[in-house]
Amino acid sequence: MSGAPVAPQAESVELGLLLVPPRARTGWRVVPARVVAMCTVELQKLRHDRTELYTRAVQPALWLLIFGETFTRLRAVPTGGIPYLDYLAPGIIAQSAMFIAIFYGIMIIWERDSGVLTKLLVTPTPRAALVTGKAFAAGVKAVIQAAVVVVLAAVLGVGMTWNPLRLLGVAAAVVLGSAFFSCLSMAIAGVVLTRDRLMGIGQAITMPLFFGSNALYPVELMPGWLQAVSRANPLSYQVDALRGLLIGTPAHLPLDFAVLALATAAGITVASGLLGRLAR
């Protein structure tokens, strides 16, 4: 070793804490800690740059303004006595949350390409905890987006509850739904490995998921085969829960939340198993 130049400042600064490794969290505490870490990053990014929040509000606004207002006048969809705009608003909240989550895999691929993911995979974070953290970070982003859509809907005169407990339930449904769809996206990213392919698949599945759910019309109006698709589609359960909580339509909340929780757990399991492929 030859005499390498030494930075005087680095020599003089206090390094005491950097000599002692932090004590590792163990057991059940690991996952919540990582979820908080990932959600914090998401909130910090949104605080620095809110452009995405505004641009993503355009599409739901158009759905409510154009599609919702027009179909309210048409009275073509039997909604059980409530204005179509009211019926539509929870579906649009679910849609805008899904659109955020379904392209989360692209972010994972970007993080792989930029080395961020690689660095996180070298930390003592189990892959399931990393995926759970990312999934709930997508949920946090979606909740903020959902809040924007709720305000838009309120401005358009949609009669919604302002009961804090019900709104908390709405947030939970949005988080769970987004967590599932982001895991679906991360799992696909782990299979296809490139942004271009994921982009194509994301676009190919988004619309079928949306139109094959109860977001725009009641399931009873669908042909039999599409009803079967809708029953297997977690988005339908999310919309059902949102509609029940926000508008007060008859809903199956225990079933809705159970399906969303199970789908999220399955999504985390599959995405965690495939995450390592992105690092190789």
DSSP 82: S
The runs of H, that is alpha helices, within 156-221 are 164-192, 195-211
**Alpha-carbon dihedral 254, 38, 44, 119, rounded to 10 degrees:** -160
How near is the Cβ of 114 to other proteins at its closest, in Å?
6
Per-residue binding letters, 218-257, with other proteins (x by CB under 8 A): ----------------------------------------
Among 76, 119, 203, 255, contact with other proteins (rule: CB under 8 A) = 119
Among 27, 80, 81, 115, contact with other proteins (rule: CB under 8 A) = 115
Which C-beta is closer to other proteins: that of 154 or that of 279?
A: 279
Tokens of 206: 């988004």
Nearest to 65 by CA among 161, 160, 159, 153: 153
Q: Tell me if 27 contacts other proteins by CB under 8 A.
A: no
In the range 126-185, which residues lie near other proteins by CB under 8 A? 126
Q: Is the dihedral of CA 158, 159, 160, 162 positive or negative?
A: positive
How near is the Cβ of 24 to other proteins at its closest, in Å?
6
Nearest to 220 by CA among 238, 236, 206, 241: 236
| Residues recorded for the chain | 280
Q: How far is CA 176 from the centre of its chain?
A: 7
CA angle, 103 then 65 then 238, to 5°: 45
Among 28, 31, 32, 44, contact with other proteins (rule: CB under 8 A) = 44
DSSP 191: H
Q: Which residue has the tokens 């926000």?
A: 246
Q: Tell me if 19 contacts other proteins by CB under 8 A.
A: yes
Q: Tell me if 7 contacts other proteins by CB under 8 A.
A: yes
Instruction: Specify the 3-state DSSP secondary structure of 279.
Output: helix
Which C-beta is closer to other proteins: that of 110 or that of 258?
A: 110
Per-residue binding letters, 182-221, with other proteins (x by CB under 8 A): ----------------------------------------
Among 27, 80, 81, 124, contact with other proteins (rule: CB under 8 A) = 124
Q: Tell me if 48 contacts other proteins by CB under 8 A.
A: yes
Q: How far apart are the first and last CA of the chain?
A: 33
How near is the Cβ of 155 to other proteins at its closest, in Å?
30
Q: Tell me if 51 contacts other proteins by CB under 8 A.
A: no
Please tell me the distance from the alpha carbon of residue 87 to that of residue 81, in angstroms, as a whole number: 10
Among 45, 50, 75, 252, contact with other proteins (rule: CB under 8 A) = 45
Q: Tell me if 75 contacts other proteins by CB under 8 A.
A: no
Q: Which stretches of the chain bind other proteins, using CB under 8 A?
A: 1-2, 4-7, 9-11, 13-25, 33-34, 36-37, 40-41, 44-45, 48-49, 113-116, 118-126, 276, 279-280
